[in-house]
Amino acid sequence: MKNIITFGTFDLFHVGHLNILERAKTYGDNLIVGISSDKLNISKKQRQPIYSFQERKKIVESLKCVNKVFCEESLEDKVKYCKEFKADILIMGDDWKGKRSGKDNKTFDELLSGVCKVIYLERTPSISTTELIEKISII
């Protein structure tokens, strides 16, 4: 049994979110999704999410490709979450490849070396929650 883990905000759920989750599931048996808490979303995006954590959780939990959803409280706890859920693979969007972040200023590959494999999947072109919010606010 392979456990796959991924993280995201999943606000204004769109086809790009669905694509990455469905593709992530093809790498293993159990897809575990960490959804950013409202507080975490405010700290990383400097805005309240459109949908509350509970609403976003309900949407993601309803997907047949998702086996478990949990609340991601801190960006600094990726290693803890991967160990807690016995992740074999972390899936992230390719926009994270090579990016350094966190207090250790490490890439995901460096941070999770010896914990689990990291795979970056191409994002769906021309769609993002930020772009959707900008389009909606223009209307």
pTM: 0.89
Could you give the CA distance from residue 137 to residue 16 in angstroms, rounded to a whole number? 20
pLDDT of residue 137: 65
35 within 8 A of 8, measured Cβ to Cβ: yes
Q: Which residues does 104 contact at the CB level (< 8 Å), separation at least 6?
A: 111
CA-based radius of gyration for the chain:
15
- pLDDT per residue, tens digit, the chain (139 aa), is 999 999 999 998 989 999 999 999 999 999 999 999 999 999 988 888 989 999 999 999 999 999 999 999 998 999 999 999 999 999 999 888 988 877 788 889 898 999 999 999 998 766 666 666 666 666 6
Q: Which amino acid is at 2?
A: K
pLDDT of residue 46: 86
Which stretches does DSSP call E strand in the chain?
3-8, 30-36, 68-72, 89-93, 117-121
